[in-house]
Structure 1
Amino acid sequence: MQKVYFDSAATTQVRPEVIDKMTLVLREDYGNPSSTHGFGRSAKNHIEQARKNIAKHLGVKASEIIFTSGGTEADNLALNSAVRDLGVKHIITSKIEHHAVLHTVQEIQSQTNISISYVNINLDGSVDYNHLEKLLVASSDKTLVSLMHVNNEVGTILDIDRVGNLCMEQEALFHSDMVQSIGHLDVNLSELQVDFTAVSAHKFHGPKGVGFAYIKKNSGLKPLIYGGEQERGYRGGTEGVHNIAGMDEALRLAYEHMVEEKAYISNIKQYFIDQLKERIDGVKFNANCCDLDHSTYTLINVCLPISQEKSGILLFQLDIKGIACSKGSACQSGSGKGSHVLTEILSEEDMLKPSIRFSFSKYNTKEEVDYVIGVLKEFIED
């Protein structure tokens, strides 16, 4: 049976070079990075070198990079600390954010007196920027805007320059979850009016369980996790040296090969779109995921012309055929609920049909696309 992995928006295959780097660090540099002896200093060197390298890629200072367990922790750090430490009383976000943001904001509201405003979302998955401006202008409280750079389900790209400038004009803080963009798009944070970001290594062929937060210098944020002075006092706990070294290597390779890999993956995505249009009547592309100018090149989200009776077994049938993909995001796959993102942008009629996210990487081929299209066509026509 052929196996096809079209779920790279959930997690990516780790590059062999990254595995080699992590193995080397695990074998040779196993000291505690907080120890002052040679073994500790050697481990610490990996951490600080990684911090410098990552900061250089993003155009920021090394002191502004704080290593975390991943994007979810980085989101929590920024959101919780902004309310607790920076006097934020009003958060503006959207209903199509990752649950690492949505659930965190809702939990903060349940424990504090902050207010939440949800910016309108257009049917193509984009933010209504005029509504965002109105919300900012009308806010009399210290405000934080939290909007993701690339939507993890439908791939819509935020006009991050525009949002950052709006926030700056209204003296609001800006947090952006960049889990789906860092490592795939050439992002220079020094050119953006962004105060906080969240990044996960496993989205760009690095290891799971590690990521980082960008926290603009002199932000005033305090730790979310106490127990030590690691990470410049922002996060207690012994760092996972091998994971940080692996993330450093993964991001280095992502930037080194970004141009050719983007071109290759874009070609795979366009081929998938063309084949779906040609071979499956009635297929719809959710939001603007079929527009390569306004969505990420790494995924598509399609509404398939399948009856409600058959839709419940579609993912099961694809899995039997060796095809990995997602209905919604992986983080909510066990919830038993439909996609909160698609609920905001699809009609009631289309919500009754199955929508599937296929996401790609450098390891995919057009032959895999042909195989998946064939399986889908057979299932639909059966």
Structure 2
Amino acid sequence: MKLKKLILPALSFGMALFVGGLLVALSDSKVLALKDQPLSMIGKGFSTAAGAYWALFRGSIFDPQLAEGHFFQGFYPLSETLVAASPLILTGLSVALAFRAGLFNIGAQGQFIAGAIGASWIGFTFELPIVIHAIAAIVVAMLFAGLYGGFVGLLKARTGAHEVIVTIMLNYVAGYFLLWLLSTTAFLRPGRQDPLAPDVRESAQLPHLFGPDLRANLGFIIALIAAAAIWWLLSRSTWGFRFRAVGANAAASRTAGISVARVTTSVMFIAGALAGLGGAVQILGSEPAMTSGVGGSFGFDAITVALLGRATPIGTVFAALLFGALRAGGLTMQASTETPLDLVLVIQALVVLFIAAPALIKSLFRLKNVDEGTTVASKGWNG
């Protein structure tokens, strides 16, 4: 990624932090109580915002208090950031790949759930050797989710059904199907009435990267490998060229002899498999017992991550790390400074707002000749 492409995201993030800091300060009653003393109010507001962001840092990167007994224990927050970012990278790649092919994959949520179902089923049902078990669970998860996504591509290719509508509906199907599964004897943990599946066997769980006390696991490495693979696919392969060509102009690609229908189906299959891999990483890495809320908001956050990452693999990785840090550090910020957790979501929304409006950032900072990169807003997608 060229340096110029980093300018707008960096400025957008800075503006989001600035506006978010103002909201943090103005949400503090102690700051508002000084409204008759402007200088004191500004100083107290700055102190409040700085304290909130320091708490956010301690909750997402490094906590000196935890490091007092053991230095590396201070990186526990960073471990939590990596845990939160791993499935976000994979679901973000799912959405970003579809963007590059001119498709809007809103179905990463349902595909994530399909992958989690496959990984959980293989993980607690079968007894396999330690490495083979995890590989089998990942492969089945990617296959389930790939077929789930590929079905959308096939419908669009054969019938012209809009992928946005179909994927939204399939999100509901996946969510309610999961609820039904967790009420069956095959998936419901014995002796429980609440929707909770058995834990996956230890032979299927992904190993921790930095010891048993830190939850960061092999899923983060898998996510980075997937990002590198998608970069190679898009930048160095013939299929990747076809994906990008169809995304740029489907009609011209069809005239050039590229099968748009085949590209559409293939892209949605791969996108589904990536989201399913995210579900597998979540189940095998950090949440071994599948629940009805296993999907969380990963599939929907993926849209934001892909947008912030300019629909590029490298950008998606950094965007997912940012959102993982906000997610991990938000609880510490709330506990330490009594800042509402909702303000973390506001900061995320502000990042998206400024990223999606590059003309606004250019106008505010009087920038010229700065590359806006590839965004859905600037390129659109095929209807």
Indicate whether the TM-score tops 0.5: no
Is the helix fraction higher in 1 or 2? Answer: 2
Q: TM-score range by the shorter chain?
A: under 0.3
The structure with the greater share of residues assigned to strand is 1
RCO higher in 1 or 2 (8 Å CA, sep ≥ 6)?
Answer: 2
TM-score of the two chains, using structure 1 as the length reference: 0.25
TM-score by length of 2: 0.25
